[in-house]
Structure 1
Amino acid sequence: MKFYNRVSELEELANLHEQSASSGRMTVITGRRRVGKTILALESAKSAKHLYLFVSRKAEALLCQEYLDEIRRIATLPVIGEIRTFRDIFTLLIELSRTERLTLIIDEFQEFFSINPAVYSEIQGIWDRNKATCKLNLICIGSVHSLMHRIFQDAKEPLFGRADRVIFLKPFSIAAIHEVLTDHGHHDTQSLFDSYAITGGLPKYLELLAENRSLTHKKMLDFILKPHSPFLAEGKNLLVEEFGREYGTYFSILELIAAGKTARSEIESVLEIHSGAYLAKLEDEYALIAKHRPINAKPGGRLQKYYLRDNFLSFWFRFIYRNLSAVETGNFGYVREIIERDYATWSGKLLERFFHDLFAASGRYNRIGSYWERGNKNEIDLVAVNDLRKELVIAEIKRNKSRISLPALQQKSERLLQEYQGYQVEYRALGLEDAAEFLRSKEDGMT
């Protein structure tokens, strides 16, 4: 698949590469696996002298031998003694970059924790002494969010404050997913939404589906639900290492949230545990869930729900993990029946998020959210606010928009409108067919 999107990230990396002509620059690229971090780094460096080093779990001396072979591909090495530590490799690369710019990409940077945790303090010492006099453009890539956060954003760690930029790479936008699908002959908004809901815009997943000509709802499920499908074990592959021994408890919480148990009290009533610490870690340390509050809620208010940030993981926990026994016995027909029965209900909330993302991408509103009152009364799917122009959009979202009553929506909005006196209000009924309006306006803005 060709390289899509990432315009702003490439511009930022190009600027940092230019700055490294006068002194060293350190950039961190993080984000969940399959989001395209490595491809982004290599794309940014393709026209520059660069070196790519992958940190695999093996003895440090063996890694260094591998790295020396890679270094010899791009440079003539001076006469050196035996190199068995990454400290010596890094010192060598600093010396090579004194006269010529060099982009060094270190992938799976967090793996040094397993090999030799002292590497981080060694890099810090070498970097602090040499940054001002070298021309090294250092890009550190990591997939395990908790460890990368600890390495670069924990004040107690040696590399805290050393990164010139931290780029948290997000999945593709809806516009980018639309571009991928259009290039593969799919122009309909239904395929666009299903790709958004099931893949979450993860480039690797879209690439897999595109390569296998599986970009419609039916063909996606055909590809996902078959023996040896790479999607079946994906949730475990992504998260077991993150969670360690307690992964079972974390998985149970995520399964409940994906199934619609979005309040802490609901989670605790099912699992019979105090979930506060787990939820806090899932939100702050692992960045897998987030709190959802009414748009006008005060900070710290108790009116809140949890949701999974990652659409694919929501799908995986709701349909694959929840039916793991059937998956492991190869009863994919049963799982398919469950998905067909519950897909509309599960994806209903994602359809709301789909329009939230479209409204956000339009650039017309400074606040976008939803609204409900205590007891889940007077729920409103979308509220978009432009405080500068005093404009307010209040919308209900359904697959079949003919079922939406605007007078009923106006009635549900009465209490909300008390906080927006003097605003021009537009009430809207939104269905999937309305996505084309936002995609056209985005294309018009690019021409």
Structure 2
Amino acid sequence: MVEFRGRTSDLALLDNQLRLVRDQLASTPGQAVIVTGRRRVGKSRLVQEFCDRSGMPYVVFQASRGRNPAAERADLVTSLAQSTLPGADLVAGAAGADWNQVLRAVAVAVPERTPSIVVLDEVPWLVEQDREFEGALQTVWDRYLSARPVLLLLVGSDLSTMESLQEYGRPFHGRAARMLVRPLDPADVRQLTALDPAEAIDAFLITGGFPEIVQRWRPGTSRTAFLRDQLADPLSPLLMAGELTLLGEVPDPSHSRSALEAIGAGERTFSTIANRIGVGDPLPSGTLAPILNTLTTKRIVAVDTPLATRPDTKNKRYRIEDSYLRFWLAFLRRGIAEVERGRGDLVLARIERSWSSWRGRAVEPVIRAGLERLLPDERLPGAEVVGGWWNRQNNPEIDLVGADRDQPAATRLAFTGSIKWLAKEPFGRRELDRLLAGSMSVPGRDHSTPLIAVSRGGVEEGLPVAASFGPEELVAAWASPPGGAS
């Protein structure tokens, strides 16, 4: 098995929940946690590592999509019987006619006085297969499991389904904490790849922080060398994870897949996405709007609106949420056939031709997130959120806007800023003049609003900017708790 590295904070969160059970610090002996996150982000591996490190008896059950509920119940009983739980032998061969009986078998298997861990993985598939599962889970939890010192981890990739488990009116409402497992962050990627901060951000943009891809990046390997190596292998995770992700999220060819491909190709507005899908005959608004809403709910697509003191909620810009899928849609989706016939060099050449321009747009949400993690920061006084601003014509378009809040609109702007992410060109007078001119169009901005610069290649001396940030500061933002980066 590949050595488990990183995830220190995630393991600490789970350890803290186990401590509540072990030391009896909560109102009930048992504790439940809903563990969710995007597909292929490493939730199952994280939970398995946690169980192995805990030293506690545990059972891990993984559901299968589309399976007969009776077969799933039988497999759960088998998993219990083969587990390290003290009561495993008591449930061996038990027959479960419904979920209530099988989940009661879980309560029989876990010890009465010593801590244990129960993991149900891919819970959305259990919910999808049998409408009785949720109600049975709530009943058995309330009557039996919560009265025992057990940590129940409910794991699932369908973010909307997992969040709905906690909604008011649903059986398990109010009974579980929620933990979101994110991809590895730029600081994790830097640690695992042994790259300098600027190169580590490049690696993050390509891999999205997905562990199975980052682990293929040999320490110290350049971006080009990594891509050349991965594009020589038709079965590499870099190539295959994108299609597997889409099959999990959008299983059938549909307008949803076409919308993702359009956004991945760089279309950002509703109208341009509709035109791209329709190839000259725009997809009707009534068809596209619910598609984009679903993709947004699933957290595959993110929606940005201008940040200013005057709301403009209809002026939306769409983007692929995670940078790996963005990279895959832009460069790898149509290159799979070439890689399969041994011409990964053609795909690499296309990436190299477009890399600087693609990276310049793709890095923007990473930089905004990094700056937000630095807050509060004396270099950015009064800022609590970071976004961008644009008008309907995207002229001007301001890369960075800091404000005291974003909903429904800011009441005060803390700064406006610009990003220049070229390796050998510093942020200079030309970029500053363009930022100053464009910033005057941002509602709420006046002559006293500070200007900031973010640059991969440094900032020219003597420019009247209130603060400047480079790759080192941004990666450091993830190396420390939010608001605590130096």
TM range (shorter): 0.7 to 0.9
Where does residue 436 of structure 1 map in the other structure?
Answer: 472
Asked if the contact 1:64/1:84 (under 8 Å) is kept, the reply is no
Asked if the contact 1:173/1:201 (under 8 Å) is kept, the reply is yes
Asked if the contact 1:297/1:303 (under 8 Å) is kept, the reply is no
1:278 to 291, 294, 301: 291
Asked if the contact 1:257/1:307 (under 8 Å) is kept, the reply is yes
Q: Any gaps of 5 or more consecutive residues in structure 2?
A: 378-382, 406-410, 459-469
In structure 2, how many angstroms separate the alpha carbons of the residues matched to 1:81 and 1:216?
54
Where does residue 90 of structure 2 map in the other structure?
Answer: 78
In structure 2, how many angstroms separate the alpha carbons of the residues matched to 1:204 and 1:351?
21
How high is the TM-score relative to the length of structure 2?
0.80
In structure 2, how many angstroms separate the alpha carbons of the residues matched to 1:443 and 1:147?
31
1:51 and 2:51 equivalent?
no
Where does residue 197 of structure 1 map in the other structure?
Answer: 205
Distance change (3 Å), C-alpha of 1:60 and 1:431: closer
Asked if the contact 2:81/2:92 (under 8 Å) is kept, the reply is no
1:129 to 115, 131, 143: 143
Question: Residue deviations 1:99-153, cap 9 Å, x none?
Answer: 2221111222223246545333222221122255222210011123344344x14
2:158 to 124, 144, 149: 144
Q: Tell me by how many angstroms 1:17 deviates.
A: 2.0
* Deviating more after overlay: 249-258 vs 114-123: 114-123
In structure 1, how many angstroms separate the alpha carbons of the residues matched to 2:146 and 2:77?
28
2:397 to 366, 379, 387: 379
Root-mean-square deviation (CA), in Å?
3.1
Where does residue 5 of structure 2 map in the other structure?
Answer: 3
* Deviating more after overlay: 254-263 vs 395-404: 395-404
In structure 2, how many angstroms separate the alpha carbons of the residues matched to 1:241 and 1:235?
10
2:242 to 235, 239, 243: 235
Q: Provide the secondary structure at the position in 1 that maps to 2:90.
A: coil
In structure 1, how many angstroms separate the alpha carbons of the residues matched to 2:365 and 2:125?
34
In structure 2, how many angstroms separate the alpha carbons of the residues matched to 1:390 and 1:64?
54
Q: Tell me by how many angstroms 1:224 deviates.
A: 2.8
Asked if the contact 1:28/1:163 (under 8 Å) is kept, the reply is no
Q: Tell me by how many angstroms 1:366 deviates.
A: 0.6
Structure 1 residues 80-229: aligned runs within 5 Å = 82-84=94-96, 87-95=100-108, 96-113=110-127, 116-150=130-164, 152-153=165-166, 157-159=170-172, 161-182=173-194, 186=195, 188-210=196-218, 215-226=221-232, 227-229=234-236
1:398 and 2:398 equivalent?
no
* Deviating more after overlay: 437-446 vs 297-306: 437-446
Give the AA of the match of 2:223. H
Q: Provide the secondary structure at the position in 2 that maps to 1:232.
A: helix
In structure 2, how many angstroms separate the alpha carbons of the residues matched to 1:435 and 1:79?
55
1:419 and 2:455 equivalent?
no
Where does residue 13 of structure 2 map in the other structure?
Answer: 12
Q: Provide the secondary structure at the position in 1 that maps to 2:82.
A: helix
Q: Tell me by how many angstroms 1:326 deviates.
A: 3.3
Where does residue 465 of structure 2 map in the other structure?
Answer: none
2:343 to 327, 331, 334: 331
How high is the TM-score relative to the length of structure 1?
0.86
Q: Any gaps of 5 or more consecutive residues in structure 1?
A: none
Q: Tell me by how many angstroms 1:429 deviates.
A: 5.3
Structure 1 residues 285-304: aligned runs within 5 Å = 286-296=298-308, 298-299=310-311, 301-304=313-316
How many aligned positions are there?
435
In structure 2, how many angstroms separate the alpha carbons of the residues matched to 1:343 and 1:390?
33
Give the AA of the match of 1:281. T
Asked if the contact 1:258/1:318 (under 8 Å) is kept, the reply is yes
In structure 2, how many angstroms separate the alpha carbons of the residues matched to 1:156 and 1:322?
44
Give the AA of the match of 1:180. L
In structure 2, how many angstroms separate the alpha carbons of the residues matched to 1:341 and 1:301?
35
Asked if the contact 1:401/1:429 (under 8 Å) is kept, the reply is no
Q: Tell me by how many angstroms 1:298 deviates.
A: 4.7
Give the AA of the match of 1:30. T
